[in-house]
């Protein structure tokens, strides 16, 4: 085994216990009949941490930086299901297309990137279909990426609907399988229903109607370490949890 994948028994036990605790919380709040997915966000964490959780049976991991994900994917087991959850520049489309076990790109929000991905996939493997989530800026914050939510009044001119239709009709190697959002800090740390999650649920309902598909065929990826329980109550299919599993990350630029 690559030495970069070696972990201490203590670290392996710690990580496995952290995942177990999060899964127990998910189990306690999930709606009857649902099976929310836990994506362990492993950005900036060493490959050995991922290997430790892989050995404990976990398979879904998320990364924010495409180069980091590509490097980890090269040395870690090939049946890991990678979720890319960061901002992807269109000039990196070839790189993500080169990683065979990408489970889903969660942050697609432009026709330009969709077309670049389609072209890259066609060159790499014409039989491959990449799952994508459309990113929605449910809080309306300028600092956040994503498209405007779909409301009953906005569907006729909504950029999100146009993008979904463009992918369906013109990007044969992409498949819209869900929607993703990052809620505002205030909403994520408040009691009660999260309005950002409710907006994503409404967006899914409206998008499903536009595409003529079942609402349940589109995943909802919402909820992180601070708010995943409320996200699951609201109907999230996939939650992205990092610090609760791996611990605090170093500040950007810290040595």
Domains of the chain as residue ranges with CATH: 3-246 (3.20.20.10)
Is 70's pLDDT higher than 90? yes
pLDDT in tens, 57-67: 999 999 999 99
pLDDT band at 255; cut points 50, 70, 90: very low
pLDDT for the residue 252? 52
Overall average pLDDT of the 4-28 stretch: 97
What does pTM read for this prediction?
0.93
Confidence of residue 1 (pLDDT cuts 50, 70, 90): low
pLDDT (mean) for 69-87: 97
The mean predicted confidence, pLDDT, of the chain is 93
Please state the rounded mean pLDDT for residues 94-100.
96
Tell which wins on pLDDT, 144 or 221: 221
136 beta partners: 147
pLDDT at 115 over 60: yes
């Amino acid at each position: 085994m690559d030495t970069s994948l070696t972990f201490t028994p203590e670290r392996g036990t710690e990580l496995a216990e952290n995942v177990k605790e999060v899964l127990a919380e998910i189990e306690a709040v999930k709606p009857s009949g649902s099976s929310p997915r836990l994506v362990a966000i492993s950005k900036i964490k060493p490959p050995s941490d991922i290997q430790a959780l892989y050995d404990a049976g976990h398979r879904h991991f998320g990364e924010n930086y495409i180069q980091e994900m590509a490097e980890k994917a090269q040395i870690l087991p090939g049946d890991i299901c990678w979720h890319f959850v960061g901002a992807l520049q269109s000039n990196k489309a070839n790189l993500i297309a080169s990683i065979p076990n990408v489970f889903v790109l969660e942050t697609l929000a432009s026709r330009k990137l969709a077309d670049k991905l389609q072209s890259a996939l066609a060159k790499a493997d014409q039989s491959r279909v990449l799952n994508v989530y459309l990113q929605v800026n449910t809080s309306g914050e300028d600092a956040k990426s994503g498209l405007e939510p779909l409301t009953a009044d906005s569907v006729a001119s909504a950029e999100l609907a146009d993008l979904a239709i463009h992918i369906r009709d013109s990007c044969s190697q992409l498949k819209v399988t869900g929607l993703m959002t990052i809620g505002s800090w205030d909403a994520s740390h408040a009691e009660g229903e999260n309005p950002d999650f409710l907006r994503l649920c409404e967006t899914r309902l409206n998008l499903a109607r536009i595409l003529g598909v079942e609402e349940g065929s589109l995943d909802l990826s919402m909820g992180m370490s601070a708010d995943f329980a409320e996200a699951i109550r609201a109907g999230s299919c996939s939650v992205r949890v990092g610090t609760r599993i791996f611990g605090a990350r170093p500040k950007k630029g810290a040595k």
